[in-house]
Amino acid sequence: MPRSHLTQLVVLALALAVIIFVLQHLQVPYLHPTAIYWVPFFLIINGLASLVTLRSLQKDQQQMILTYLATTVFRLLISVAIIFFALMQDVPHRITFVINFAVLYLAFLGFEIYGLLTNLRAHLEKDTDQHGESQ
């Protein structure tokens, strides 16, 4: 299961990179020049968070929720710190930068939530099949 989730995460990152690349060549004014560089950043951060969360789910399902919340807070704090430092460095087109960064953050977060719900549903169905009713 973790391998397919990570594969889907890479596919999402590639799709977003292609979209950003095309939009940059079309010279869309609402796209920050650094947007393409944030895709690998979010891929790595979300990939690591996914691995930690999925390992936690395999070891102890009760601790998985705490692990998921901890990785979500970690990603949020890193993202806020990056936005803060970028704004302190006078990044050009500040509003565009923040909006593009937030859209990518939300795209990866939405994917993470979707993957988590799918994984939890599979575990719930497995527990129901083994015990006759959910625990």
Query: What percent of the chain clears pLDDT 90, i.e. is strictly above it?
Result: 59
Residue 131 within any structural domain of the chain? no
User: pTM for this structure?
Assistant: 0.81
Residue 67, pLDDT > 50, answer: yes
* Stretch 44-71: mean pLDDT: 85
Residue 132 within any structural domain of the chain? no
Reduce the DSSP state of residue 102 to 3 states and report it: helix
* Cα–Cα distance for residue pair 135/129, rounded to 1 Å: 11
Q: What is the pLDDT of residue 118?
A: 76
Residue 58 within any structural domain of the chain? yes
Residue 83 within any structural domain of the chain? yes
* Stretch 75-98: mean pLDDT: 94
Specify the residue for token string 């939890």.
120
Per the structure, the count of domains in the chain is 1
**Containing structural domain, residue 95:** 2-29+36-126
